[in-house]
Amino acid sequence: MTTIGIVGGGTMGAEIAHVAAVAGMDVRLCDADADRARQGRDRALAIASRRVAKGRLDAADADAAAGRITAVTGIADLAGADVVIEAVPEDLALKARVHAEIDRTVGPEVLVATNTSGLSVTALGNATATPSRLVGLHFFNPASTMRLVEVIAGAATAEETIARAIALAEALGKTPVRVRECPGFVVNRVLVRAMAEAYRAAAGAPVDRRAADRAVVEGGPAPMGPFALGDLVGLDVLESIRSDLVAAYGDRFADADTLTPLVAAGRLGRKTGGGLVPDRDEDPTGAEPGVAAVYYAAALDEARRLAGEGVASPADIDLAMHLGAGWESGPLAAGSLSANVT
């Protein structure tokens, strides 16, 4: 049986622990200390209970899965695991330290993955003595329901490592999509580009943001418009990703300073209340100056760039947007639809 070590039992680590335990793997979960590891295990068990309550998981399977998750004290307790997945906060220095320790602890035959949303797998590999066995496995939140996993090879990642990572994602019941390393990978790059352009198009004029969101949903394959989506993701998280993408690709990710003042004011979207979608009585009525058309044109342009750069195949880009962002069809296949949006 596969033993999987998970480092970091927060939002993503707990979800991945749950998924692995339900898939029949033995899970050893560690965090910054033993208490937090126990909290991470509790979080994983709570995910199982919620899914049982919703009728998505059998109670007996949840019990069996709970018995397969052990909270351990630290990375030292992961020696002997077959696979280690790191899910500590998105901070390069912290992740580099953690990967150096994982690398010293587990044998060179162990597959090591990082669940980074956008940091360089190559840079993390450089913090270790065996970068060939490190791979990016970008799960989507919540990992218990989202099927997509972006599989990212760093410059030194071995072909065998990628093959093992793909097999692991499949064993976890996920659909892996292979992505060449680039800031934002596929899904975040397409979505954040489209969102930033939509925010730019809506800046400086009274725009009914609810109407703009509706026009996006009615006019193309996306399940949610850019304003509601920003509020759902959390504007602090979105702004951090977007500013990294501006640094990497320049002004096509600029948002006409839409997010910064909201983040500074602590209006982060659903988790705090307040955000991009205003209270009902604050929204100007009527005006939707082509935001939906801008949104889909930007998504299509970014998807074409990704394909042109060879980051992923056109079919995989569309599959990633379908499974990772809930688009009915991907931007490349749906490209002609954008012409129908007014």
Ligand X SMILES: NC(=O)c1ccc[n+]([C@@H]2O[C@H](COP(=O)([O-])OP(=O)(O)OC[C@H]3O[C@@H](n4cnc5c(N)ncnc54)[C@H](O)[C@@H]3O)[C@@H](O)[C@H]2O)c1
Residues making contact with ligand X (CB under 6 A): 7-13, 31-32, 36, 40, 87-90, 98, 115-117, 139-141
What are the residues whose beta carbons fall under 8 Å from the beta carbon of 278, sequence distance 6 or more?
Answer: 209
Given the DSSP bridges, would you call strands 134-139 and 148-153 parallel, antiparallel or unpaired?
antiparallel
Q: Return the number of the residue (148 or 211) whose C-beta is nearest ligand X.
A: 148
What's the closest the beta carbon of residue 191 comes to ligand X, in angstroms? 12
Is 159 labeled as catalytic in the residue annotation?
no
CB-nearest residue to ligand X: 10
Q: Return the number of the residue (35 or 160) whose C-beta is nearest ligand X.
A: 35
What's the closest the beta carbon of residue 130 comes to ligand X, in angstroms? 19
Q: Return the number of the residue (48 or 98) whose C-beta is nearest ligand X.
A: 98
What's the closest the beta carbon of residue 240 comes to ligand X, in angstroms? 9
Q: Which of 138, 144, 197, 322 is catalytic?
A: 138
Q: Return the number of the residue (87 or 333) whose C-beta is nearest ligand X.
A: 87
Is 288 labeled as catalytic in the residue annotation?
no
- Residue 281 CA to residue 70 CA, distance in Å, equals 50
- Residue 330 CA to residue 342 CA, distance in Å, equals 19
Q: Which of 188, 239, 288, 338 is catalytic?
A: 188
Q: Return the number of the residue (117 or 157) whose C-beta is nearest ligand X.
A: 117
Residue 43 has a CB neighbour count (10 Å cut-off) of 18
Q: Return the number of the residue (37 or 293) whose C-beta is nearest ligand X.
A: 37
What's the closest the beta carbon of residue 10 comes to ligand X, in angstroms? 2
Side-chain-side CA neighbours of 292 within 13 Å: the count stands at 26
Q: Which of 15, 18, 101, 117 is catalytic?
A: 117
Is 150 labeled as catalytic in the residue annotation?
yes
What's the closest the beta carbon of residue 169 comes to ligand X, in angstroms? 14
What's the closest the beta carbon of residue 7 comes to ligand X, in angstroms? 5
Q: Return the number of the residue (98 or 294) whose C-beta is nearest ligand X.
A: 98
What's the closest the beta carbon of residue 90 comes to ligand X, in angstroms? 4
- Residue 97 CA to residue 114 CA, distance in Å, equals 13
Contact criterion met (CB below 8 Å) for 37 and 9: yes
Is 329 labeled as catalytic in the residue annotation?
no
Contact criterion met (CB below 8 Å) for 162 and 150: no
Q: Which of 15, 86, 101, 150 is catalytic?
A: 150
Active site residues: 117, 138, 150, 188
